[in-house]
Chains A and B, each alone.
Chain A
Amino acid sequence: MKKILIIYFLPVMILLTVSSCKKSFIDDTTNNNLPNSVSASLLLTGVLTNMVDLPDGAYSSSTQSSMVYPNASNKDEIWGQYYIYNYDYYGNNTYDFDPGADYYSTLTNVLAMESKAAASGGAAVNPYEAMGKFFRAYFFSKMSLERGDIPMTQALQGLANLTPAYDTQKAVMLQSLAWLESANADLTQLIANPSVGGTGLGSTLGGDIFYGNSLTQWQKVVNTFRIRLLIELSKQSADPDLNVPAQFASIIGNPTKYPLMQSATDNLQYTFISTINTNYYPQYPDIFGQSGSRQNMSQTYVGLLDLLQDPRIFAVAEPSRYQVDTLHQSPTAFSSFAGADPGLDLGTMYSNAGLQRYSFINRKRYYSTYTGEPSIQIGYPELMFNIAEGINRGWASGNAETYYIAGIQASMASYSIPLTGTYTAYFYHPAASSTTGVADLTNYDTYNISVNWSTYYSQINVQYASGAVGLKQILQQKYIALFRHSGLEAYFNYRRTGVPNFSTGPGTDNGQRIATRFLYPLSDRTGNTVNYQKALASQYGGNDDINGIMWILK
């Protein structure tokens, strides 16, 4: 028997730094690179940047990353039939609705903002809490407008409830309107006596990128948005619980209690910044070469401007070069402007676009600068049309025409079109020898076009008539005013009223139908299966169908 036992003691190298002596395992689990808490004002900035819907006809350039504009759906303008694709490689005009915008994570930030405000001196009524009510109303109602019933009362509880039940669309709308009422009341208190808000950081608004922390301005937004939401419910205006006409009348009838936007300077709008490349307008000179001809104007929009002999056509579009150069029509004749039918087969549209048969977007306004135009989220012109519509529908007494005219004039003013006078139009028409780009104004033909409000307004299609004709006129003008603004509003209005006529065909797909709703988030199918199935069964025959009809459209 042989026994071998070899023991090697390897040299033990001890290298203990001072820090490692003091450290413990538990200290090292924490990530010191990120904050464990941020202030309410930083969260507010985050919520506001998540809230915006921007035009992005330029599709996604690298600087318009999803991080910067998380909820910008790249097809809002397509589904509004304003500005459409002509080549399948880059996009198409189909109504292939996806799950739409998902604001639940943003609402988690709203909750965090409220609790940080309360923890940092905010009283029971404080600016963040009032803003929080507005955000809840805005985000929940928007998600419901897109999908129908959605989780609300059981939502936002994290691990405490991983399978929130759905609330009916009616419940979401009732609650949203109640939040807006309450937000208005809180803001009234805070404006009258800021000390109500408490003391410290949580008592004063900070981080506002739109109004410089002015609660007075936000109160106007709250009420203006409430008018929008009431209008969205027009098909259920007879519902006794919602009581849409009475709510509408009480707001219109009491401007002291419910201040509304007074002019375009009150617009809730996103202003682009020429010095920060992540805040450029989605279309700007550097990308004109790659994206400038992927899309052209839609006939739904251009045809309407044409029908109304509307001078805004010279600001937003350019004449078809085919009409001007080949058929020798005047570039400022309305008939020289032509949009493409969104229902058109893309192969045909591509061929026609190559032949310059269509109007392209106005390059001076939308491509020659880095700032384009501010993107209106909730605006004064829309408010005017919404009030006119409510009055037209008999919800309140008043003169619908006054609001109708104010809306049109505010929209024209946003394009710098004078009521009476001369408007200078710029159409991109570089000489063959030109080596400069879309930013160089010498590459544009300029035309002085005389505009006259009374001539415009005296047209039969424009001059306000009461009743159904008047309603259609209001909705048409609202559609025109919403070009490149307010996300899906134009689509929602079409869905609710059928105005203006949207076109269908092979290009829009979905069996020649305009889809009526967005899908539920894909995660509901696997993560909240039972409630998801219940919601589908109670609303859409068990199928998550983009052509299903939600309660507010019944």
Chain B
Amino acid sequence: MYGLSEDRRDLFDNNTEALLNYDYTVKKFLNLSGLVGGNFRDFSYNSSWVSTNYLNVPGVYAFSNSENALQATSFSSYMMVASAFYSLDASFGKYATLSSTGRVDKTSAFQVPTTYYYPSLSLASVVSDYIEMPKFITFLKVRASYSNVRADETSPTIGPAPFSSITAFGGSTGPSLYDNPLDYGATYLSPYNGPNYALNPSYSTSKPYNNQTAGYSTTSLYQSNIQTSTRVNYEEGFDAKFLQNRLGLSATAFQYIDGPQILANPVATSTGYTTEYLNALKTRKTGQEVSLSGLPVKSSDFSWSVLVNWSRFQQYFEKLPAGQTSYAYNGGYVSVGDRTDEFFGTAFVRTKTGQIINNANGTPMVNPVNQFLGNANADYSWTIANNFTYKQFNFGFQFDGSVGGHMIDYMHLKTTVGGSNAITAEGAIGAARYQDWLNYGKPGYKGTYVGPGVVISNGVAPNYDSKTGQILNYSSLQFAPNTQTAFIQGYVSSYYNVDEANLMSKTYAELREVTFGYSFPKKWLEKSFISTATASIYGRNLLYFYADKEFEDVDLNQYNGTTGQSVLQSPTIRSYGINFKLTF
């Protein structure tokens, strides 16, 4: 079993640039500086991927030694971008500084050659420099900025076999830069920054049967005259210092408006296509961040400093594709005004009082329509850091965490359903498992475990609304407490197969870091060439606080932001270390 593959990638990226710098002062008040320039980018990329899975003579690594037909694919791409840009920094004496940039690009990496412009502007003013402040305010600065981000259809990375049509090894084919021609492993991605050809329709080929080539037409539609996607950012804030810099407060608010994007929007398949690329969908993200720093105690021997940070953000759908009142998203459907971190999944069917309705065999009914399960984003996150210095010693610790948000713990689902999670052997479940083992194979034995909730006692089948999952004939259902025993592994694997049973809160806190340090006294070093010397020990990720024992194994640090489901994760690493620092 000897194989041989060759993965060859050549990238040529030539930038020809002209820059003009300027710096100009008018009447000691207005200063203008910056640059203007132009750039011409000429890009080409060629790659090939050739492989054979068996060699005739072991150890002779040559394609001529292949036992089976060689499998090969090649890829080439070209791109040109012509750009002109400027930057401007202007200062108006002590009153304000203003900076602005702008860039215009003409690119070939789009549906048709496209020219687009994106500017930015920011303004800052130190108010305390020119307005008399109350005495306790030492410093006050206000700032605001605006920027617009646009991009062409390029990809930062590329895989070994873009647009692969190799089917012999069972890998992926299709119009993707990341096709893996093998059916295992991960591909190596290399830097690319070239065109992804997402907006160009074409046929594709593959060999689905008997190495015979088959052709397929595109499944995508393209709006004509697509514009580059756009994102507009606004940011406002201030920094203030009080009581001779003993107390500092800074706050920032931001609004990011994304869209219209270049959206791959699902269209009714009866059009003959699955996706339409068009300019649509607008979202708005708003956020705030406040940080407070203080020096409550400061004396010659001892000082204590505190830093508190608080931040939050939320993103909402502001505009759906034209003609649509709902949009399929994260397993469910959303409308204008809904949050973008909503996620949906399978859920239990419940009575109006919240009890789980079970099937006749005592396992929970599952709603055929995905239900809203929660928001993945935290409501806010926080950090508190303290630092103490006493003579030559210093000691610091930092807590942080976030509050709010939920996600589905996929590992919990798989380990419980697969019977390897500890909870499947503990408590009532464990006791029932023991009974199942004792009675294994006994005729008539139907398990011991009785799940919570009710059963439908009058034999009426529930009918579900296909949009909401509500029971349409709820009033004709009668309920009685569930008394049906079930085999524990059967019960556990159906109960925990429901996303709702694996829903966990994302509220957690952590003792992120503790440091303890010592600075060697200056006089020890006076005669040496060393000017300062410090030694410190530190510990990171020392304590993790989570309310629910069932899910405390998940390291929520790895699921910040809008992740609604856990994946196979590496464990958190608790680390300790010693630092020596010498400066000369």
Contact = CB atoms under 8 A, between A and B. Distances in A.
Interface stretch (A160-168, A179-187, A234-242, A297-305): A160-168
Q: How large is the interface on B (under 10, 10 to 19, 20 to 34, 35 or more residues)?
A: 35 or more
Interface stretch (A27-35, A129-137, A391-399): A27-35
Interface stretch (A275-283, A459-467, A487-495): A275-283
B488 to A, nearest CB: 8
Given A29-B108, A156-B272, 20 more contacts: A4-B25, A12-B16, A16-B42, A25-B107, A28-B78, A28-B80, A29-B200, A31-B197, A105-B269, A151-B270, A157-B271, A158-B271, A158-B272, A209-B209, A348-B446, A509-B365, A513-B461, A521-B269, A523-B266, A527-B266
A9 to B, nearest CB: 8
Contacts of A547: 463
Contacts of A434: none
Contacts of A35: 202-205, 215
Contact of B112 (A29, A43, A67, A105): A29
A53 to B, nearest CB: 15
A32 B195 CA distance: 12
B359 A38 contact: no
Interface in B13-30: 14, 16-27
B344 interface: no
Contacts of B359: 345, 506, 509
B396 interface: no
B210 A276 contact: yes
A278 B462 contact: no
Interface string B119-144: 00000000000000000000000000
Nearest to A326: B441
Given A158-B273, A159-B221, A8 B493 contact: no
Contact of B27 (A1, A108, A279, A506): A1
Given A7-B21, A523-B266, A20 B80 contact: yes
A38 B466 contact: no
B103 to A, nearest CB: 17
Q: How large is the interface on A (under 10, 10 to 19, 20 to 34, 35 or more residues)?
A: 35 or more
Nearest to B447: A347
Given A524-B270, A545-B466, A350 B163 contact: no
Contacts of B213: 42, 45
Interface in B163-198: 163, 167-170, 172-175, 183-184, 195, 197
B487 A525 contact: no
B360 interface: yes
Contacts, number: 320
B325 interface: yes
27 contacts: A1-B27, A6-B21, A7-B20, A7-B21, A10-B18, A25-B107, A28-B109, A31-B200, A31-B202, A35-B205, A45-B214, A45-B215, A49-B209, A49-B214, A67-B173, A88-B494, A92-B494, A105-B269, A112-B217, A156-B270, A345-B363, A347-B363, A351-B490, A355-B440, A524-B269, A525-B328, A543-B463
A67 B172 contact: yes
Nearest to B218: A108
Interface in A252-304: 273, 276-279
B491 interface: yes
A5 B461 contact: no
B80 A527 contact: no
A31 B273 CA distance: 20
A96 B363 CA distance: 16
A439 to B, nearest CB: 18
Given A4-B24, A89-B418, A15 B16 contact: yes
Given A5-B24, A67-B167, A509-B359, A543 B271 contact: no
A345 B460 CA distance: 19
B209 A45 contact: yes
Given A8-B20, A105-B219, A108-B219, A29 B113 contact: yes
A529 B327 CA distance: 11
Nearest to B68: A275
A34 B175 contact: yes
Contacts of A347: 361, 363, 447, 486-491, 494
A201 to B, nearest CB: 13
Interface in A208-222: 209
Contact of B363 (A7, A112, A506): A506
A29 B167 contact: no
B83 interface: no
A503 to B, nearest CB: 14
Contacts of A163: 268, 323
B43 to A, nearest CB: 9
Contacts of A468: none
A68 interface: yes
Contacts of A121: none
A26 B113 contact: yes
Contacts of B214: 42-43, 45-46, 49, 207
Given A36-B203, A346-B490, A543-B472, A506 B461 contact: no
A505 to B, nearest CB: 7
Interface in B102-122: 106-113
Contacts of B363: 345, 347, 506
A5 B22 contact: yes
A73 interface: no
B268 A88 contact: no
A432 interface: no
Interface in B252-282: 265-274, 276
Interface string B214-229: 1111010101000000
A510 interface: yes
A544 B466 contact: yes
Contacts of B265: 527
A216 to B, nearest CB: 21
B167 A68 contact: yes
Contact of A108 (B25, B217, B266): B217
A529 B270 CA distance: 13
A82 B577 CA distance: 62
Interface in B336-378: 359-363, 365-366, 368
Nearest to A63: B170
B503 to A, nearest CB: 19
Nearest to B110: A29
Contact of B328 (A29, A34, A88, A522): A522
B211 interface: yes
Given A102-B269, A524-B268, A278 B167 contact: yes
Contacts of A33: 74-77, 162-163, 197
Nearest to A159: B221
A277 B170 contact: yes
Contacts of B478: none
A509 B271 CA distance: 34
B324 A529 contact: yes
Contacts of A431: none
- Residue of B110, B417, B490 ringed by the most chain A CB atoms within 10 A: B490
A292 B42 CA distance: 56
B72 to A, nearest CB: 13
A327 interface: no
B16 A506 contact: no
A107 interface: yes
- Residue of B112, B184, B209, B486 ringed by the most chain A CB atoms within 10 A: B209
A554 interface: no
The 8 closest A-B pairs by CB, nearest first: A347-B490, A511-B461, A42-B215, A38-B215, A347-B487, A506-B361, A345-B361, A28-B108
A510 B17 contact: no
Contact of B274 (A31, A42, A273, A523): A523
Contacts of B19: 8, 10
Contacts of A15: 14, 16
A25 B80 contact: yes
Contact of A523 (B18, B27, B268, B446): B268
A96 B163 CA distance: 35
B333 interface: yes
A8 B465 CA distance: 71
